[in-house]
Structure 1
Amino acid sequence: MTKYGLLIIDVQNDYFSGGKMVLHEPEKALHHIQQLEHDFKSKNLPIIYIQHINIQPNPAFFEKGTDGVELHSELSLQDDSVIIEKHFPNSFFQTKLQATLDQLEVDTLVITGMMTHMCVDSTTRAAAELGYNPVLIHNATATRNLAFNENNVQANDVQNAFISSLSNFSTVMSTDDWIKA
């Protein structure tokens, strides 16, 4: 029997207005994540929150002890919420995520969060490689504009390119489609 788990990656203050690494429309992604939190709670399914702590010297963002590293206050966190700390883009690398999912008997991981082109990408690919069935909720993720060799790539193009690529490793759907399924 399939057991679902909701993974909420790096929905932290530094990605929102006033933060050190503001993303493109993170509020829209947060709204969809909140809908998924409600759906999973109503079905008594596990929700796992991932919190990135940047351990590099003088980090640009997600610095331990700052408000920016904190999980966003509009998430439905409870005293008993499962929060897993990570230090790398891949949420499985050197964390307790896989052991937690195994303990919860989760085999299908519904993936949301930030940034689409970094931690969401790395975690989705790793989930597939580790034998989970990843389901990526495309409108519950957010990214930012990128630049390379004087070329600017708009956030919407980054989002579309990464979601398109991740469709090779996961089932991609919208929040509404997930809730209706």
Structure 2
Amino acid sequence: MSKALIIIDVQNDYFENGALELVNPIPASENAKKLLDHFRKENLPVVHVQHASPEGVPFFVPGSKGVEIHDNVKPAEGEKVITKHYPNSFRDTDLLEYLQSKGVTEVVLTGMMTHMCVDAGTRAAFDYGFDCTVIGDACATKDLEIKGAQVKAADVQTAFLAALEFFYAKIQTTDEYLTA
């Protein structure tokens, strides 16, 4: 079984002073870096997913500093970078073909906006037949609101990880994954 690390949207706009700041993006990106270092050391495939927004959207503007992948997980020369325009990293990209070309059967997912892009990418990966592991503490999200009700980021994170673990993925911490 071959595995790959997928780092989803760890981009500057999600960090302090970014256009769409998340809660605790630094610790999540530092954990993603630990996983990235592990996969590089083991010479396993790494995929960096970078979201670029269409014209008129105020974040991930092509050519801006905000769209750039954060320094904590900067791609190394030769690592695959996929640009996407939807929450699902597989939609209208060559991610599926790339993973298949490498013989990947298991994906380890990290990244930004647990409730949106990590969720969508994990569900799609599972639907394409991959065994999925999401590293919960290498992901970040934000406070949400629905019909005047406020939902704290910690609750959003817990709810989405719990939903993914119910059927789609194994959920682990960085330490659990690296010491297994």
TM normalised by structure 2 equals: 0.97
User: Does the 8 Å contact 2:75/2:81 carry over to 1?
Assistant: no
Q: What SS does structure 1 have at the residue aligned with 2:159?
A: helix
Task: Indicate the residue corresponding to 1:7 in structure 2.
Answer: 6
Aligned with 1:147 (options 139, 142, 145): 145
**Following TM superposition, where does structure 1 have runs of at least 4 consecutive aligned residues deviating by more than 6 angstroms?**
none
Task: Indicate the residue corresponding to 1:123 in structure 2.
Answer: 121
Task: Indicate the residue corresponding to 2:45 in structure 1.
Answer: 46
Code of the aligned partner of 2:171: V
Q: Deviations over 1:105-150 (max 9, x none)?
A: 1110000001100000000000111100011111000000000100
Task: Indicate the residue corresponding to 2:171 in structure 1.
Answer: 172
RMSD: 0.8
Q: What SS does structure 2 have at the residue aligned with 1:20?
A: coil
Task: Indicate the residue corresponding to 1:81 in structure 2.
Answer: 79
State the alpha-carbon separation in 1 of the partners of residues 49 and 66 from structure 2: 14
Task: Tell which deviates more after alignment, 102-111 or 67-76.
Answer: 67-76
Code of the aligned partner of 2:108: V
* Gapped regions of structure 2 (runs ≥ 5): none
Q: What SS does structure 2 have at the residue aligned with 1:144?
A: coil
Q: Deviations over 1:68-114 (max 9, x none)?
A: 00001221421212100000000000101001001111110000001
User: Does the 8 Å contact 2:50/2:84 carry over to 1?
Assistant: yes
Q: What SS does structure 1 have at the residue aligned with 2:66?
A: helix
Task: Indicate the residue corresponding to 1:58 in structure 2.
Answer: 56
Code of the aligned partner of 2:178: I
Q: Deviations over 1:141-164 (max 9, x none)?
A: 000000010000000000000000
User: Does the 8 Å contact 1:110/1:135 carry over to 2?
Assistant: yes
Task: Indicate the residue corresponding to 2:135 in structure 1.
Answer: 137
State the alpha-carbon separation in 1 of the partners of residues 72 and 141 from structure 2: 19
State the alpha-carbon separation in 2 of the partners of residues 136 and 80 from structure 1: 24
State the alpha-carbon separation in 1 of the partners of residues 14 and 120 from structure 2: 18
User: Does the 8 Å contact 1:110/1:134 carry over to 2?
Assistant: yes
